[in-house]
Structure formats: C-alpha cells, structure tokens
Structure 1
Amino acid sequence: MATNNPTKKRIQALKAEYDALRKGKESLLVMVDEAEIPEAVYNSNAIENSTLTLKETEKILLDMEVSRDVSVREVFEAKNLARVVEYIRIKSQEIELNKEMILSLHQMLIGGIDDKIAGRFRAKGEYVRVGTHVAPAPEHVESMVDAILLEYSSDLNSYFLDKIAKFHLDFETIHPFNDGNGRIGRAIINFQFQRLGFSRIIVRDREKKDYYQAFGDYREKKNTKTMEKILVLGLMESFHKRIAYFKGETIITLSDYSKKHKLSAPAVSNAARRQKIPAFRERGVWKIPENFEY
C-alpha cells in the first residue's frame, strides 16, 4: 500500500509551516523535545509491558524517589531509553542509518541490564518468539538486517513515510536482538524521521492494539497500510504540537475547548484522533490552541 496524495499534501503543508516557524526558535524546539522525553519513554516501555506509570517515569528520569518499590531493571529501562531518545535527537543529522549505529543504540538501551546480549544480534541457538510469530533463525539475522538497510537506502522512489513503515515492519519481523527489539525499532523510526528533518513521533501504549494489528496485517497479507496510518497520525500530531508552541498559542485541554464552544465532546475527540483538527497530546491529555475555529 502507499500513502495517498491528499495525506501527502497535508504532511507537506505541515512540514512547510513547521520549517518556516522554527527559524530562530531552535531553543524552544529543544525545550519541547526534552519535555516530551518522559512521555516517549513511558509509552515505548509500556508497550513492552513495563509497569511504570508516566508519573513514575518522570520521577525516575529526574532521579527522584517513587512511592513504591520498582525493579532495578525498570529503572534502567527508563533511564537507558531516555539516553537513546536524546542521543537520536542530537546525532540524527550527523550519522547515517547503518548496522553499526543500530548496534550502538542497542548497547545504550540494554547495557547495564544484560551486558551479555547488549550491542549484538542474536547468536547461534538464540531464538525468539513474539506471540505466534517465531522470528527467523539467528544465522540469518545479520544478512536480513543488511538487506532491509540496503532496500531502505536504495529506494529513491517510494514516499519517505511508506519506506519508514515498511522498514519498521521488516525490522520487527526479523527481531534481530534477544531483547529490546520493539524499543529499538521505534527509536529507529524517530531516527529516520529526524534524519529527514521531520519531528519525532510517539507510538502510544493506548494504541497498542492497532500497532500490533499492523504486524499481523503485514505478516499475513503483506499489507503496510495500518502501520502507515499510525505513522501518519503520529507525525501530524507531532507537527500540530510544535506549530502551536512556535506560534505562541494559548493551549487548553480539548475538554475545555468543547465546553467553551458548546461542541459535542465525542465528535471533537474523534476529530482529534483522526487529526482532522490541530489537536495533540501532552502527558496523555488531548489539547488544542484556544483560538482554533472548529
């Protein structure tokens, strides 16, 4: 499948507005990106069944005590993934997507958690399964990763978002590592977006059902449409948030916006989820510029 032309035009228009508004506001963009790190970390870890809440993740990243005993592993997972997210923000314009970079990200993510498997692909005898999907034998992993990297870099005709979606589907199907595949895969999505000058996205735990469905659709029918839609909506939401901050908009919750304008809350929420309005989430709460005319 491929992203349709109206969607491409919307993304192109948002990108143009984002590029025009960000000039001279790089420090603001850094602040917005950094403030978003706990939310990005929380969601990616939650997809992998971490028990940490968003508030606990925020406290851990600030080196504050949390109100319950949490495992040392979950503390490391939060801190390590935050390092990966920040590293990608800083380095995405400097380095290419390649095998060495992926292994380096994995070392950063798993180091201190399980050093025996950090920074390397699965070796002989190391098999993994995700639900009903048994990943390819370890003997094939490195050559398969080489193949999808080559396909991604040499495809000069496909739409950038479609390429990123397919790469993610292929990467997770290979499942090249013993642990951390999902978190590294989602980190690579953002490396690819930021490498191309786009803003990063958050694949959210609340949409985990659709996210997992995307892999089922790909493995059963070679259909990439579900993953493309997830990335499209995530990118639009990310643009809407940053554009609102660049413009200095007064930002209110979607709930307050609906009440103020006497609108149907379910209808407005549906429009937000479909990105038909410039709404975005902060700490899981939908927000929108106060002066937006619905």
Structure 2
Amino acid sequence: MTTARIDALWARYRELAAQHPDALTEIALAEVPEAVHQSNAIENSSLTLDDTERILEGRLPRGTHELREVFEASNLARVTTELLQATEPLTSDLILRWHRELLTGIRDDAAGRFRSSNEWVRVGAHLGANPAFVPELVDRALERYRSGPPDGVLERIAWFHCEFEVIHPFVDGNGRIGRVLINHQLLRQGLPPVIVRARGRHTEYYPALEAYRRTDRHDAMTRLLTLLVLEALHKRLALVTSRDIIPLADWARAAAIRSNVAANKAKRQTIPAFRMRDRWMIAAEYREPTR
C-alpha cells in the first residue's frame, strides 16, 4: 500500500469532487445511518441498522430498547450530518460543542465539558488522563496535530485519534466523538469520511489503540485508517462513474475467483471493493490487471 497509490486515487477524487459535488454530498448523507449504527455498535449498542434508520426517520425502533440508545442514534446522526458541512478548524470549542450535542438527553450533567475534579475514568486496564490536566492535554494534542510530527496527513490523523482516546477527556462519549473528529479532519483535508466498523473492533480497532497505549506507536491505526480511506475513495469513484454495482460474491463468481480470495482482496483493498450496509460491493465492469 504505497503513498503513490493513495495520491493517485486522491487526485481522481478531487476531479470527481469538482465535477460532481452534489453526488458526493448525497453519498455522504446516505452513509449517515450506517456510520451512526457502526459507531454506536462499537460501544455495544443493541440497535440494528434497521432500528437506526427508523429512529432517524422519526419512528420507533422494533422491539424493546433503552431510551438512551434512541438518543444516542439521533444525537450522533445530528453531529455526523453537521460535520459534513463544517468548515471551521478543529478546536477545543468545536469538540465541546459536538460533545454537548452528542450527550444531550443522555448525560446532561456531563455534556459539553471535559472531565474535572475527581472524574477519573478507566477502560479495562487503561486509566484516562488525570482530570486536572485534561484541557491542557487536549490543547497540546491539537497543537501537535496542526504543526508537529508526523508529516503525512493520515499519519497525523491516526496519531491524534490514538492520543485523544488515551487522554479520554470526557466522562462519556469519548469513542463516538473521537471517530467524529477523524471524519472532520479527513474532510478538512479534502478526503471523504470513513466508517470504522464494529465487526473489526476486537481484531483491528481496539488492538491499534492498545498498541499506542503500550508503545506510543500509531502504525497500526495508520494502516487501518489508510484502508478505510481507500475504501471510501473506491466507493465514491465507483458510484459516480460505474453503471452497475454488484455484490462482490457475484463479481468473484463471474471472474472465476474463490469468494474467500475475493474477500481477502477487498479487506486489503487490492481491488476497488467497498461496503454498503456491511456487504462488500464492487463495480461490475472492474477487471483485475493481467500480469
């Protein structure tokens, strides 16, 4: 996975953005329910994608769910939609505003403020930063993100996400806000938003955070973010330029490729596959280059 490959896709995406801005806006808006569902699922929400879509349409989810989960879906959708149009730089004030919107009706006592006093938090064996220093640590992380190492765009975003989650600046909502900030940062750089998937949280996402906690290295998070950005780029290029989008399994069958091989290629993003409703899809006309 080379920088040159990402840069080439990025250049094609910029051309697409100039020619079809409305299409890209609609694709991003159509992703909101899935993005909300996946981010909440990482935090163990019991809502399905169908439940989430019903809530965002103003209806009740099927079955019995806690009221908190309904607020989590509607609040996160509001923040996710807002960030798609946000043009302001990332600041503590913006982070706190989105956190207030996220926790309204859920934890009004903690919404829109950093941890303070004796509000210590622990996630497993990880202890969040001393609450007395949280605002200072967030500002320091923001300053390093803006002007310090690492130099690469995705490396800096990956580093910031790891550092933000290690600080764990809030009593509640740290993961959801952290993933919102990833997409704000990507959009500010002219890249599409991504969806961090719940299915891979124990094999990819959490291990990448744990690696940073133990070693201060963000390589694993950078690799994950790079794959997600490639997938988001492939999705938009395919949806805007291709006539037929088909399930990856159908494409593999037509190409005489075993389904597990095709799935591995999709996960590694060595083919331009992407997920819609958690199902791998691909442009029907795609053909692998011959060697």
**TM-score, scaled to structure 1:** 0.95
Tell which deviates more after alignment, 239-248 or 64-73: 64-73
Query: 1:85 touches 1:187 (CA, 8 Å); kept in 2?
Result: yes
Measure, in 2, the Cα distance between the counterparts of 1:245 and 1:155: 36
- 1:77 match: 72
* Alignment partner of 1:119 out of 92, 109, 112: 112
Number of residue pairs matched by the alignment: 287
User: Any idea what SS the aligned residue of 1:23 has?
Assistant: helix
CA offset at residue 156 of structure 1? 6.8
Greater RCO, CA 8 A, separation 6+: 1
Measure, in 2, the Cα distance between the counterparts of 1:286 and 1:163: 28
1:129-144 correspondence to structure 2 within 5 Å: 129-144=122-137
CA offset at residue 28 of structure 1? 1.1
Measure, in 2, the Cα distance between the counterparts of 1:28 and 1:113: 34
Measure, in 2, the Cα distance between the counterparts of 1:249 and 1:240: 14
Counterpart code for 1:65: L
Question: Does the C-alpha gap of structure 1 residues 172 and 251 become closer, same or farther in structure 2, counting only changes over 3 Å?
Answer: same
Instruction: Give unpaired runs (5+ residues) of structure 2.
Output: none
Percent identical residues? 43
Measure, in 2, the Cα distance between the counterparts of 1:52 and 1:120: 27
Measure, in 1, the Cα distance between the counterparts of 2:2 and 2:16: 21
* 1:268 maps to 2:262: yes
Deviation digits for residues 231-250 of structure 1, max 9, x if unmatched? 00000000000001121331
- 1:3 match: none
Deviation digits for residues 74-108 of structure 1, max 9, x if unmatched? 000000001111111011xx201011000001011
- 1:47 match: 42
* Alignment partner of 1:7 out of 2, 6, 15: 2
Measure, in 1, the Cα distance between the counterparts of 2:195 and 2:124: 23
* Alignment partner of 1:98 out of 91, 99, 107: 91
- 1:17 match: 12
- 2:153 match: 160
Question: Does the C-alpha gap of structure 1 residues 249 and 155 become closer, same or farther in structure 2, counting only changes over 3 Å?
Answer: farther
1:243-262 correspondence to structure 2 within 5 Å: 243-262=237-256
Query: 1:22 touches 1:246 (CA, 8 Å); kept in 2?
Result: no
Counterpart code for 1:73: R
Query: 1:21 touches 1:247 (CA, 8 Å); kept in 2?
Result: no
Tell which deviates more after alignment, 18-27 or 211-220: 18-27
- 2:181 match: 188
CA offset at residue 157 of structure 1? 6.2
Instruction: Give unpaired runs (5+ residues) of structure 1.
Output: 1-5
Measure, in 1, the Cα distance between the counterparts of 2:207 and 2:237: 30
RMSD: 1.1
